[in-house]
Structure 1
């Protein structure tokens, strides 16, 4: 019987990646919203949603980048609860967030880029900005 640390996927071809399977209902209710929050485990974010991109702060990268913009998906789970998801550049990592606007919280399940660490946490939301059409990244003051 293999243990969890054994690699039991031997001789499985490693494709660039299989076609994505994205289905089900989508929404646009997060468009134009910007939130700020900090997880108890430490990471702090400012996140904005436009029609096609999510903008979020990251610790400064070697080239000085501190905001990423990536395509994302959004779905309304029930009134005032939204699931958003995106895949990191080069498909290295993914983020799934559940925003509960009524309870003012965000739950996260994410594998950070290049498998650096896994984030599974909950934070309190503070809505900073809403213009209803497009998100404008707001830098920390």
Structure 2
């Protein structure tokens, strides 16, 4: 019998779908710039071009409403190489981030103000940077 390489995930508590169809564009004061979009099951976000040419990553994620217009979003990178937790404050137009980036490259703990917000009903809207 094969042993898993980690303990089973423990995901509980209430979930929401209120972020579905929303796309945000923002840049952290420390430099990283993102466009992030939410579908029912996946989060799509821009990354600096990877060696294979990838510029958009799509991963499964969790979302929870903390209070009206305040949402916690979380995902784990492929191979459990890093994780991201974002708090979206729609009223204040801000996002707070606590993340260990893939392969332990760096830790990101920052706050950004939304530059743009798009809403597209029940599906994610992704518009590439111009």
The question of a shared fold, defined as TM-score above 0.5 by the shorter chain, is answered with: yes
Q: Which one has a larger percent strand, Structure 1 or Structure 2?
A: 2
Q: Which has the larger radius of gyration?
A: 1
Report the TM-score when normalising by structure 2.
0.95
Matches within 5 A, 1:47-86: 47-86=36-75
Structure 2: runs of 5+ lacking an equivalent: none
Structure 1: runs of 5+ lacking an equivalent: 1-15
Q: Please tell me whether the aligned partners of residues 46 and 56 of structure 1 are also in contact (alpha carbons under 8 angstroms).
A: yes
State the distance in 2 between where 1:134 and 1:126 align.
Answer: 21
**Stretch of structure 1 that moved more, 123-132 or 47-56:** 123-132
Q: Please tell me whether the aligned partners of residues 33 and 127 of structure 1 are also in contact (alpha carbons under 8 angstroms).
A: no
Q: How far is 1:136 from its partner?
A: 2.3
State the distance in 2 between where 1:80 and 1:65 align.
Answer: 32
State the distance in 2 between where 1:95 and 1:33 align.
Answer: 18
Q: How far is 1:36 from its partner?
A: 0.2
Q: Corresponding residue for 2:119?
A: 130
Q: Please tell me whether the aligned partners of residues 53 and 71 of structure 1 are also in contact (alpha carbons under 8 angstroms).
A: yes
How many residues are treated as equivalent by the alignment?
Answer: 126
Report the TM-score when normalising by structure 1.
0.88
